[in-house]
């Protein structure tokens, strides 16, 4: 079994390794021997991709949009999940079903109404429009995960905190948020990846090339630098690096969140 897993890892990471090595080599060396090791540690391809090809601008745009939309989505969802699952009030079942119903309708089917709504609100060709769209489209899944996680937390924790004089805000910040940290890590990653990689909405809603995100900017980059393989590989690594870092640093929290329900 371990041999199969190592073989799969080699097949999966082999192309990525070739791209990393290619990004450190000039184009003429790549054409002569595509799979050779770099003769020197050369970062000029990255400098060219970042500055000359405007990937730096696209990268910063993607970082800003992704972080803001994920933060807004998770903040709204965790607060709403706390109220719906830990408080009793009339209509909370309907409210929970209303949020979860968003999972049944693909957001891209509503592109035309979304476009007209954004046009009326002056949100076309703005980063704010994309942030609001990504946050809203991510709330149903995030709510689904967080509500399921919060329902499994013991009520005795809240009761003990109330006996000590804690109010709802203190219970939420000091007790609930630390306990749902693994679930927060899971939903953050699951929202970060599709938001960072999304090509569809920026292509439709953005007009100014200086506001493009990495996926849309890479289409122009591929057209202009298709013959410069080293710079092309460097651009791909720049686009891939944030996702790789996020998954690497949050992998432990992700596994904790995915397996948290097993012991309950």
User: What is the structure's pLDDT at 255?
Assistant: 65
User: How many whole angstroms separate alpha carbon 62 and alpha carbon 198?
Assistant: 10
Specify burial of residue 4 (Cβ count, 10 A radius: 0-12, 13-18, 19+): exposed
Tell me: the pLDDT tens digits for 82-97?
989 888 888 888 888 8
User: What is the structure's pLDDT at 219?
Assistant: 83
Tell me: the pLDDT tens digits for 144-176?
989 988 888 888 878 788 887 778 788 888 888
CATH number at residue 90: 1.10.3720.10
Q: Is 28 part of a structural domain of the chain?
A: no
User: What is the structure's pLDDT at 263?
Assistant: 45
The proportion of the chain whose per-residue pLDDT surpasses 70, expressed as a percent, equals 94
Q: Is 220 part of a structural domain of the chain?
A: yes
Residues with Cβ within 8 Å of 79's Cβ and at least 6 positions away in sequence, in order, are: 172
Do 10 and 2 meet the contact criterion of CB atoms below 8 Å apart? no
Query: Is it the case that residue 52 has pLDDT exceeding 80?
Result: no
Query: Is it the case that residue 248 has pLDDT exceeding 90?
Result: no
Q: Is 162 part of a structural domain of the chain?
A: yes
Q: Is 111 part of a structural domain of the chain?
A: yes
- State the average pLDDT over residues 9-37: 82
**Locus of tokens 């202009």:** 224
Do 24 and 45 meet the contact criterion of CB atoms below 8 Å apart? yes
Which residue would you say has higher pLDDT here, 223 or 95?
95
Q: Is 246 part of a structural domain of the chain?
A: yes
Do 45 and 23 meet the contact criterion of CB atoms below 8 Å apart? yes
Q: Is 134 part of a structural domain of the chain?
A: yes
Tell me: the pLDDT tens digits for 177-207?
888 888 888 899 889 999 999 999 999 999 9
Structure tokens belonging to residue 188: 């953050």
Do 135 and 77 meet the contact criterion of CB atoms below 8 Å apart? no
User: What is the structure's pLDDT at 264?
Assistant: 46
Full domain range(s) for residue 56: 43-263
> Nearest CA to 191 among 150, 148, 246, 241?
246
DSSP structure string for 217-233: HHHHHHHHSSS-HHHHH
Across the chain, mean pLDDT equals: 85
**Alpha helices by DSSP H, 33-126:** 44-47, 55-86, 92-100, 111-120
Structure tokens belonging to residue 110: 């509503």
Q: Is 19 part of a structural domain of the chain?
A: no
Query: Is it the case that residue 262 has pLDDT exceeding 50?
Result: no
Task: Give the pLDDT band (50/70/90) at residue 257.
Answer: low
Considering its fold, how many domains does the chain have in total? 1
User: What is the structure's pLDDT at 162?
Assistant: 80
Task: Give the pLDDT band (50/70/90) at residue 25.
Answer: confident
Q: Is 88 part of a structural domain of the chain?
A: yes
């Amino acid at each position: 079994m371990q041999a199969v897993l190592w073989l799969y890892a080699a097949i999966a990471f082999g192309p990525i390794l070739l791209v990393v090595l290619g990004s450190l080599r000039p184009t003429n060396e790549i054409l002569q021997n595509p799979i050779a090791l770099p003769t020197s540690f050369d970062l000029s391809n990255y400098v060219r991709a970042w500055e000359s090809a405007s990937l730096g601008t696209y990268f910063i745009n993607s970082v800003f949009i992704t972080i803001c939309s994920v933060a807004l989505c998770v903040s709204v969802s965790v607060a709403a999940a706390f109220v719906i699952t830990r408080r009793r009030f009339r209509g909370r079942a309907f409210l929970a079903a209303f949020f979860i119903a968003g999972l049944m309708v693909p957001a891209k089917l509503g592109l035309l109404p979304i476009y007209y709504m954004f046009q009326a609100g002056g949100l076309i060709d703005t980063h704010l429009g994309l942030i609001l769209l990504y946050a809203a489209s991510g709330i149903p899944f995030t709510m689904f995960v967080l509500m399921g996680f919060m329902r499994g937390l013991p009520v005795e924790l809240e009761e003990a905190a109330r006996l000590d004089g804690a109010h709802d805000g203190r219970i939420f910040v000091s007790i609930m948020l630390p306990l749902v940290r693994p679930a927060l890590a899971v939903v953050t990653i699951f929202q970060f990846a599709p938001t960072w990689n999304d090509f569809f909405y920026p292509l439709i809603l953005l007009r100014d090339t200086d506001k493009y995100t990495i996926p849309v900017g890479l289409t122009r980059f591929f057209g202009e630098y298709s013959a410069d393989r080293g710079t092309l590989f460097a651009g791909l690594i720049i686009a891939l690096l944030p996702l790789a870092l996020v998954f690497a640093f949050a992998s432990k929290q992700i596994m904790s969140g995915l397996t948290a329900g097993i012991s309950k």
